[in-house]
């Protein structure tokens, strides 16, 4: 049995706040798929999806924060995101690529993957990872909100749900986005 050791001791001074944007992207019907495909093939499906989103991560200058199971979490420092609409465009480009590759996915997995997404922005607490010094750890309501909105996507049968704060951060020129209010949640 191995034990983990921390890189250094931490205290409250090792935590700071910064403005960040988060995009959570989650595979639809993942429980069903994992059961149907089995662990290895399901893992390979997720790996293929990550390979398909990877060019967009670089194109839109996102930070790949985490891949947790079938969920991909991307982030931007608020000041580094030149256009908040790019956050949504990354998701739409990824969705379009999956659609273009649907025949390949159907042939290989018997399923063409579809994802839902949520995004929010605001202040988060940042600390260094006590086990891997160069990886940040983000905590706060922004992440909790994104995670909760994924459930709302499923409940309301929407491919993307964004917060009012995120809508306010969009440039007025983003008229091509079809944003509809679903009320307060």
Query: Could you report the per-residue pLDDT of 51-81, keeping only the tens digit for each?
Result: 999 999 999 999 999 999 999 999 999 988 8
Question: pLDDT tens across 85-137, in order?
Answer: 899 999 999 999 999 999 999 999 999 999 999 999 999 999 876 666 677 89
Token pair for 169: 């951060």
Could you give the CA distance from residue 134 to residue 78 in angstroms, rounded to a whole number? 20
Q: What is the pLDDT of residue 5?
A: 47
Which pTM does this prediction carry? 0.86
Q: Give the contacts of 131 (CB within 8 A, at least 6 positions apart).
A: 4, 6, 7
Beta strands 115-128 and 71-77, pairing class: unpaired
Q: Write phi, then psi, for 8 (nearest 5 degrees).
A: -160, 165
């Amino acid at each position: 049995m191995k034990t983990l050791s921390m890189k250094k001791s931490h205290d409250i001074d090792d935590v700071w706040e910064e403005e960040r944007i988060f995009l959570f992207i989650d595979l639809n019907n993942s429980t069903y798929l994992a059961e149907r495909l089995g662990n290895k093939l399901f893992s390979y499906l997720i790996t293929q999806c990550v390979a398909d989103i990877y060019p967009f991560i670089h194109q839109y200058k996102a930070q790949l924060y985490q891949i947790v199971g079938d969920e991909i979490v991307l982030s931007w420092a608020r000041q580094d995101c030149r256009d908040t609409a790019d956050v949504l465009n990354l998701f739409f480009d990824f969705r379009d690529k999956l659609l273009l590759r649907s025949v390949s996915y159907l042939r290989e997995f018997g399923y063409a993957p579809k994802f839902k997404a949520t995004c929010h922005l605001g202040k988060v607490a940042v600390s260094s990872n006590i086990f891997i010094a160069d990886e940040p750890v983000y905590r706060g309501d922004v992440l909790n909100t994104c995670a909760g909105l994924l459930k709302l996507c499923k409940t309301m049968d929407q491919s993307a749900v964004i917060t009012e704060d995120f809508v306010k951060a969009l440039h007025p020129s983003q008229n091509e986005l079809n944003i509809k209010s679903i009320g307060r949640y």
